Amino acid sequence: MIARVNWVDEACRKTIDKIERTSLSIGASFPNGSAQGRYEKTPAHDWVSGFWPGLLWLAYEETNNVRLKELAVECERQISQTLWEFEQLHHDVGFMFGLSSVNQYKHIQDEEAKRHALMAASLLAGRFNPAGGFIRAWPNWGGEDHSGWAIIDCLMNLPLLYWASREIDDPRYRHVAELHADTVLREFVRDDGSVHHIVSFDPETGKRIGELAGQGHAADSAWARGAAWALYGFTLSYSYTGKEKYLEAAERVARFFLDHLPEDKVPYWDFRLPDFGKDTPRDSSAAAIAASGLLDLAVAVQGEESKEYRQQAEAILHSLYNHYGAWEADEEALLLHATGYYAADVYVDAPLIYGDYYFVEALLKLKKL
Ligand code: GLY
């Protein structure tokens, strides 16, 4: 058993101190991945835009530093403007508005932010295809027809729908979320607990066409971050609905994820590659996402299973803190060695803002346990 109190407290202190420092240079902008020690910025409609305000709110909770709150509020203002860039938007409004507008409403009771989040939830629900029972992921980017594509990551956008249903006391959004989660459970999760990244459906009939590699190595491989999204996403659907089928799915994916980790508990970017060598890139973001999901899973179950999930999450976070942290380096990010999109050569073996977000989220959960 790792001596938890000391390292977790120390890691929380270091990460929060670093966010306070880097907020001076990052300001109210939208970091994506880091290159040469500095975060590259992306427009407010990019799927990652919620993670920096999300980090600012996490740090604000710990410090009460008003400057962090003001930066988060300015980020939310910019993200809310994207509601008028309707054609650019996509299913990841769940990440974007959940981490910015919903957080803002929760922390400072901002009714305008609540309205933005409800509009985003309506937009997300509007992407639902009733013939196939799935939420369409993306617009036709690059001229490619995406009208029948659903992706595993979308499980993480469903909490915006569950939240909206509770907020306005109307089950419609929850129904959409559950119908999508049921489709993902049926069509994406393999018997061994690994998952597909993209499944394509005929948008007219809803019939499954087939699966695509997406950001994974191949259609039949096991993209590590996809598994992490599924583990955490099904756990969230269970915690919002209490439906055992989502808990069983989360546990099946968690078993696959944990059984395929290398010794240092941080996965290679895909669990099924033709060969693994010492230069195969890791994905520290997948490790951070899975650790945060495992801590929720540990709360959802009892006894030995709960203990195991918590210990595994702790071991992952300990390894990230000790071997993947950018504590001494001249680097704005917190975690090194993530992989964004290997095949497109986008942020391979680089820091990613969502790796940082889930690392801090998980550390703070662990501290509070
Ligand atoms: N498509 C979201 C991700 O890279 O995980």
Per-residue model confidence as pLDDT tens digits over 193-206: 999 999 999 999 99
Q: What is the mean pLDDT of residues 237-246?
A: 98
Predicted confidence at residue 84, as pLDDT, reads: 96
CATH number at 157 reads 1.50.10.10
Question: pTM for the full model?
Answer: 0.98
- Residue 112 is predicted with a pLDDT of 98
In the block, tokens 């269970």 appear at 238
Q: For residue 304, how far is its CA from the centre of ligand 1 (angstroms)?
A: 32
The catalytic position among 17, 110, 145, 153 is 153
Best residue for ligand 1 mutational test, from 32, 215, 232, 356 (most atoms within 8 Å of Cβ)? 215
Q: What pLDDT band is residue 1 in, cutting at 50, 70 and 90?
A: low
Contacts of 179 (CB under 8 A, 6+ apart): 128, 133
- Among residues 293, 295, 288, the alpha carbon closest in space to that of 336 is found at 288
CA dihedral 366, 11, 61, 25 (to 10 degrees): -140
Annotation says 153 is catalytic? yes
350 three-state secondary structure = strand
Distance from C-alpha of 220 to C-alpha of 274, rounded to nearest angstrom = 12
Question: What is the model's pLDDT at position 278?
Answer: 87
Calculate the alpha carbon distances from 90 to 69, 150, 182, 192, 298 in Å.
Answer: 27, 11, 20, 30, 31
Which residues on adjacent β-strands are paired with residue 199?
150, 211
- Two tokens at 144? 């490619």
Reported in sequence order, the residue ranges of the chain that DSSP labels E, i.e. its strands, are: 31-35, 38-41, 128-129, 134-135, 149-151, 198-201, 208-212, 338-341, 346-350
Question: Whose alpha carbon is nearest atom 2 of ligand 1?
Answer: 153
Residue to substitute in 47, 212, 345, 346 for testing ligand 1 pocket (most ligand atoms within 8 angstroms of CB): 47
| 40-95 per-position pLDDT tens digit | 999 999 999 999 999 999 999 999 999 999 999 999 999 999 999 999 999 999 99
DSSP state of 369: -
Q: Which atom of ligand 1 is nearest to the CA of 354?
A: 5
pLDDT of 5 above 90 = no
- Please give the span between the terminal C-alpha atoms of the chain, in angstroms, as a whole number: 15
**What's the token pair of residue 322?**
């000790």
Q: Which DSSP string do the residues of 253-273 spell out, in sequence order?
A: HHHHHHHT--TTS--BSBS--
Nearest in space to 338 (alpha carbons), one of 279, 282, 276: 282
Does residue 297 register a pLDDT over 80? yes
- Return the number of other C-beta atoms located less than 10 Å from residue 241's C-beta: 17
Which atom belonging to ligand 1 lies closest to the Cα atom of 341? 4
Average pLDDT over residues 174-182: 99
Residues across the chain: 369
> Residues 273-284: pLDDT tens digits?
999 998 999 999
Least-confidence region, from 4-13, 31-40, 111-120, 154-163: 4-13
Q: Is 210 helix (H, G, I), strand (E, B) or coil?
A: strand
pLDDT, the chain, mean: 97
- Is the pLDDT confidence value at 4 over 60? no
User: For 199, left (φ over 0), alpha (ψ -120 to 50), or beta?
Assistant: beta
Pocket of ligand 1 from Cβ distances under 6 Å:
153, 215, 225
Give the integer Cα–Cα distance in Å for 222 and 270: 6
- Number of separate domains in the chain: 1
Cα separation, 125 vs 338, whole angstroms: 31
3 pLDDT band, cuts 50/70/90, is low
Domain containing 73: what range? 2-368
Q: Any bridge partners for residue 34, and if so which?
A: 39
Catalytic residue status for 345: no
- Contact indicator for 279, 290 with CB cutoff of 8 Å: no
Q: Which residues pair with 150 in a beta bridge?
A: 199
Cα(211)–Cα(133) distance, integer angstroms = 16
The whole-angstrom separation of Cα 170 and Cα 62 is 33
Of 92, 270, 283, 296, the active-site residue reads 92
Residue located via tokens 């769940």 = 94
Query: Cβ distance 57 to 91 under 8 Å?
Result: no
